[in-house]
Amino acid sequence: MARASVDNPDYYINREISWLQFNRRVLEEAQDENNPLLERLKFLSISANNLDEFFEVRLAGLVQQIEDGYTEAGPDGLTLTEERDLISEEVHKFIAEQYQCWNEQLRPQLSEKGIRVLGLNELDENARAFVEDYCDRELDLLLTPVTVDPAHPFPRVINKALCVAFLLRRRRRSSLTYTGVVTVPRALPRLVRLPSEGTVDFIFLADLVSFHAARMYNGYDIISSAAFRVTRNSNLYLEEEESRNVLDSVRTELHNRRKGDAVRLEIDADTDPEISERLRTNFGLEPWQVFRVDGPVNLPRLFNIYEQTDRPDLKYKPYVPRELRLTAKSQDLFEELRRHDILLHHPFDSFDAVVSFIEAAAEDANVLSIKQTLYRTSENSMIVKALIAAAAKKEVTAVVELKARFDEASNIRWARDLEDAGVQVFHGLVGLKTHCKLALLVRRDPDGVSRRYAHLGTGNYNSTTARIYTDLSLLTADPEMTGAVHDVFAFLTAYSEHSSYAPLTVSPINLAENCLDLIARETEHAQSGRPARIIAKMNALLDKNIIAALYRASQAGVQIDLIIRGMCALRPGVRGVSNNIRVRSIVGRFLEHSRIFYFANGGEDSIYISSAGMKFSMLIWRIR
């Protein structure tokens, strides 16, 4: 029987719909009554934060492409307008489910546990007195009421700023109505903790702004009011080839990001239609981009309840990771690595071992140089502090990726601090994103020999996320491995290309080609009757060439198990195409971030770990 073609659009899932399906799995964690109640609230907040980024980046890019006249269909055969319409339908359904979860499940159940989010009409005398005092002391000082008229244009509403709109009528000119806008101060918490006995009570800050509207708009009658929030296009549009300095280009675009084109308007469900239409027109949005929500328009901020509520009985039990212990024969980590490699599985193995590796290098007089990539790091990064301290005594080089989405501003600050301390800072390669996670040390050991030591990770150098992301770290002194890491740094700092980076595979040089070769090798093993199997764990699977290769491997009889947290364009279980492929997604307490690839290879199995998935980002290396 002839094999089915792997080019049929029906065999490919739309990437954006696949992402929405992933985020629905996050929401399911909020709906799952087996999870602790406050953890469910956190998952709801995460699903809303994820959706913010989806609008800011993915949907904003799609709308931009439509406006620019792109017509080419994707692997799934959908045109951009068809894709937009499908996404609109799915997103509206999803948001309705989010608010149903909040209104019908989480809010009532939290109230039963003594954690209440109150409206103004639910405040007792003490709470109302507190609110009056809070507004006088904190809130009113920061409010700037605006009335839109010929002399006062509509204020520039920055990305995701919570605002309150008012429909106003002058008392002396009763026939005219005006739009009033007040931005809710970002300096204040979105949920204000109220004094209470026996319960933990909150009120939304936006409700307090509406409550004090009469004081702000003297001489007006307030016909109606509505909280709203605008999401803007947050993509960075860099002209790197024409830029003299990548840092300046990123910094300039960051300033523009807060003012990008609007892509979504969230507004109270019971808003006066006149307010809603005035806002929609002002922001240049189509009707499908307006989302009337039955509850707080700022769902991500519900995370504040989780943070401010000390109820261990409603949260996961604290997890204590395992600390790295050296063998009795080793005096320090370097001596241990000369004997054998160390593979760590975070967060089950503590990330402190990686921090200690860099800190020991900074303090050790025998370490001559340190090279480090930084993609995302924590606010008070001990690794960055170690690099700064080391710069006074040895050669330190850092490759700081300025285009790590939504971490650009903090990475610019880190780059400046490192440069001021004497670290040689590079900003990666023009047109490429430096996604690999590498550290390389050169040390003169007690035997007088200078050796390289390296860390290779699937995750970021971020001690905070390392406690909640599953990732792998490889610490090694293997000469072949560390020599290849040295060559990768030469590529990053000088664009110096080598014919081979074995045992590493590097994108964009040979990662795509090598991944396809590995899949083809399994296909050949299956056709020859030898052991053939693929198990791959990654964040996303989107590349059409990789998916087509997996389909062909399945048709040849290769058993394939894919563990994909997020987007997956591959459609499993299609008879004659992918009936040997199974896809799972794990969403739970820890964010599945590690990338691991297993190939049976005819009985001589090989395993790779990577800072990239099979969508091609930067680096993959063999550990067996």
User: Residue 74 domain-assigned?
Assistant: yes
Residue 376 CA to residue 596 CA, distance in Å, equals 21
Q: What pLDDT is attached to residue 614?
A: 54
Q: What pLDDT is attached to residue 451?
A: 97
> For the chain, which ranges sit under pLDDT 70?
1-2, 173, 236-259, 403-409, 613-624
Q: In the block, which residue shows the tokens 């509509």? A: 154
User: Residue 441 domain-assigned?
Assistant: yes
435 among known catalytic residues: yes
User: Residue 324 domain-assigned?
Assistant: no
**490 and 359, same structural domain?**
yes
**211 and 108, same structural domain?**
yes
**199 and 53, same structural domain?**
yes
Q: What pLDDT is attached to residue 585?
A: 95
User: Residue 322 domain-assigned?
Assistant: no
Residue 198 CA to residue 439 CA, distance in Å, equals 51
DSSP H/E element including 103: none
Q: What pLDDT is attached to residue 483?
A: 96
Residue 617 CA to residue 432 CA, distance in Å, equals 9
Contact of 378 with 463, CB cutoff 8 Å:
yes
| Single pTM value for the model | 0.90
Contact of 357 with 439, CB cutoff 8 Å:
yes
User: Residue 325 domain-assigned?
Assistant: no
User: Residue 425 domain-assigned?
Assistant: yes
Nearest Cα neighbor of 25 from 585, 530, 486 is: 585
Residue 539 CA to residue 535 CA, distance in Å, equals 14
Catalytic residue chosen out of the listed positions 212, 346, 427, 435: 435
Residue 352 CA to residue 237 CA, distance in Å, equals 37
Report the CATH number that the domain containing residue 422 is assigned in CATH.
Answer: 3.30.870.10
Domain boundary among 268, 283, 314: 314
**408 and 556, same structural domain?**
no
Q: What pLDDT is attached to residue 619?
A: 44
Phi-psi region of 327 (alpha: psi -120 to 50; beta: other; left: phi over 0): beta
Domain hosting 571: range is 508-622
Q: What pLDDT is attached to residue 497?
A: 84
Specify the DSSP class assigned to residue 155: P
